[in-house]
């Protein structure tokens, strides 16, 4: 299973490196979403922080939520791209005929999506700090939040990407299926990031635990059910 997962992940990453879809489309889309969100919020509007004697700009306050929205919308492009590649010339059928372990295919494609998401999060994160200007707080909590959210989005994305892979309206069906499922992930990631940036850090770790549990749930679901999903694709 792990050998197959490594082969699939390397194959997907080589395809993306050759096509440059990540750098030419997904990353610019994420930055564009981030900037457009910023245009919709008055930059001079300020709110009181929880302490009562410190004020922050509205842009700074909402930066965690807007960052994760930009990441999730961009992740939809990456997930659709992952299965669109397999639909060309019957590649998905070829993978099944070759005898790859379905669980290995699931893990490999999820790993490739996770690598792309990390690259996306780094670029969009730098953009968020430049555009919105939030403080850099608890780095350990922030890294743990990013890691747990990345895995949650990657595992759930591949499960629902496979569910919609065989459908004619895949490009619109996958977002309709995936976004409601990822709503709790968006909430947890936003709350944990807020705690990492603005404090207190202790209130962010339970949200990271929720993200970890969500990741494990979809990891198990993907390993168990991916073979059946491939048969339907």
DSSP 139-154: HHHHHHHHHHHHHHHH
pLDDT-based confidence at 148, cuts 50/70/90? very high
**What is the average per-residue pLDDT within 118-139?**
84
**What is the average per-residue pLDDT within 96-115?**
87
Domain count, the chain: 1
Cis peptide before 72 (omega within 30 of 0): no
Q: What is the pLDDT, as a whole number, of residue 53?
A: 47
Eight-state DSSP code of residue 201: G
User: Ranked by mean pLDDT, which of 24-28, 67-71, 99-103, 197-201 comes out on top?
Assistant: 67-71
Eight-state DSSP code of residue 26: I
Q: Tens of pLDDT along 44-95?
A: 555 555 554 455 667 777 888 889 998 998 898 888 888 877 776 667 777 7
Q: Tens of pLDDT along 154-212?
A: 999 999 888 876 666 666 788 888 899 999 999 999 999 999 988 788 899 999 999 99
Q: What is the pLDDT, as a whole number, of residue 100?
A: 81
Report residue 169 as tokens: 């309206």
- Provide the domain limits for residue 199: 2-232
End-to-end CA distance of the chain: 20
Dihedral, CA of residue 144, residue 147, residue 153 and residue 158, to nearest 10: -150
130-134, long-range: CB within 8 Å, 24+ apart, which pairs? Answer: 131/34, 131/35, 131/38, 131/59, 132/38, 132/59, 132/60, 132/62, 132/63, 132/66, 132/67, 133/57, 133/59, 133/60, 133/63, 134/60, 134/63, 134/64, 134/197, 134/198
Match 């300020």 to its residue by tokens: 46
Query: What pTM was computed for the model?
Result: 0.87
Strands (E), the chain: 46-48, 55-57
């Amino acid at each position: 299973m792990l050998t197959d997962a490594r082969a699939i992940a390397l194959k997907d990453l080589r395809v993306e490196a050759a096509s440059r879809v990540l750098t030419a489309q997904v990353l610019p889309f994420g930055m564009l979403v981030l900037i457009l969100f910023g245009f919709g919020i008055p930059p001079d509007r300020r709110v009181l922080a929880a302490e009562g004697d410190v004020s922050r700009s509205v842009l700074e306050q909402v930066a965690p939520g807007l960052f994760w929205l930009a990441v999730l919308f961009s992740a939809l492009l990456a997930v659709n791209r992952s299965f669109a590649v397999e639909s060309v010339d019957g590649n998905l059928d070829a993978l099944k005929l070759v005898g790859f372990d379905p669980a290995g295919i699931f893990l490999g494609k999820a790993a490739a999506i996770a690598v792309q998401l990390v690259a996306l999060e780094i670029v969009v994160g730098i953009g968020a700090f430049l555009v919105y200007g939030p403080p850099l707080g608890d780095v350990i909590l922030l890294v743990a939040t990013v890691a747990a959210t990345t895995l949650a989005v990657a595992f759930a994305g591949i499960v629902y990407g496979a569910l919609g892979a065989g459908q004619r309206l895949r490009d619109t069906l996958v977002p309709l299926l995936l976004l409601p499922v990822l709503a709790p992930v968006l909430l947890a990631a936003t709350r944990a990031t807020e705690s990492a940036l603005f404090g207190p850090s202790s209130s962010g770790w339970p949200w990271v635990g929720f993200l970890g549990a969500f990741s494990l749930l979809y990891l198990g679901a993907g390993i168990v059910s991916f073979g059946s999903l491939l048969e339907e694709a």
